Amino acid sequence: MRLTGPARRLTIFIGESDQYHHHPLYTEIVHRAHRSGLAGATVLRGIEGFGASSHIHTTRLLSLSEDLPIAIVIVDAPERIDAFLPQLDELVAEGLVILDDVEVIRYVGREAS
């Protein structure tokens, strides 16, 4: 897949302990993005943060959280991202979903071995 020029970035902020049918929610989102043929998805684990609940989640030892912030970032053509959004309505009960228009400079995969 070639992806250069104007694109859309979808970022989903959820909690690490969020579940979908007894599996991590971030895993379900990534697998659905893969099945949908999106260009790629990355899951980033935060070390500290808070959201709508205003409860601070942190990795600091004295207040070690089991629900750290998670960000799932997906970049693809705007129409492909927009087609994926309805799946998030089913999956994300709590969290934040944002869209940004971006410019892809380089998108290169590894050579097959």
Could you tell me the residue ranges of all domains in the chain? 5-104
SS3 at position 10: strand
Distance (Å, rounded) from C-alpha 96 to C-alpha 22?
21
Residue 60 has pLDDT above 80, yes or no: no
| Residue 25, number of CB atoms within 10 A of its CB | 23
Name the pTM for this structure: 0.84
User: Cα 93 to the chain's mean position, in Å?
Assistant: 14
Hey, what CATH topology would domain 5-104 get? Alpha-Beta Plaits (3.30.70)
Strand partners, 72: 12, 43
Summarize pLDDT for 69-102 with one digit per residue, the tens: 999 999 999 999 999 999 999 999 999 999 999 9
| pLDDT above 70 coverage of the chain, percent | 83
Q: How far is CA 40 from the centre of its chain?
A: 10
d(CA 15, CA 57): 9
Name which of 11-15, 47-51, 72-76, 109-113 the model is least confident about: 109-113
